[in-house]
């Protein structure tokens, strides 16, 4: 498993764990990001910028700190 930050751009994975507190879990859940979700990493900005992912018909950017707490299993 790797963090969302370490997932290579263009690769797919499944969210296996989110290492955060209740507020982070709730915020991500409200965006539709939860364990078991299949995602594709679209882009990453350098110097701790946001990470853009696609899942289903959605494409969103997640802050660097949040992305570092999302554990992904490559598929």
Tell me the C-alpha distance between 52 and 20, whole Å.
19
Q: What is the pTM of this model?
A: 0.90
Token digits of residue 32: 């539709």
Can you list the alpha helix ranges (DSSP code H) found in the chain?
A: 22-30, 64-67
User: pLDDT value at position 47?
Assistant: 83
User: DSSP secondary-structure letter at 20?
Assistant: S
CB 24 within 8 A of CB 69: yes
CB 65 within 8 A of CB 5: no
Q: What CATH number labels 2-74?
A: 2.30.30.90
pLDDT along the chain (75 residues), means of 10: 94 96 94 94 87 94 94 95
Domain ranges of the chain: 2-74
Q: Is 49 left (phi over 0), alpha (psi -120 to 50) or beta?
A: beta
């Amino acid at each position: 498993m790797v963090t969302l930050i370490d997932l290579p751009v263009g690769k797919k994975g499944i969210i296996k764990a989110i290492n955060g507190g209740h507020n982070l879990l709730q915020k991500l859940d409200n965006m539709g990001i939860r364990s078991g979700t299949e995602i594709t990493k679209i882009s990453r900005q350098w110097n701790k910028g946001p990470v853009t992912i696609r899942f289903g018909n959605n494409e969103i950017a997640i802050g660097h700190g949040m992305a570092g707490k999302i554990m992904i299993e490559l598929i």
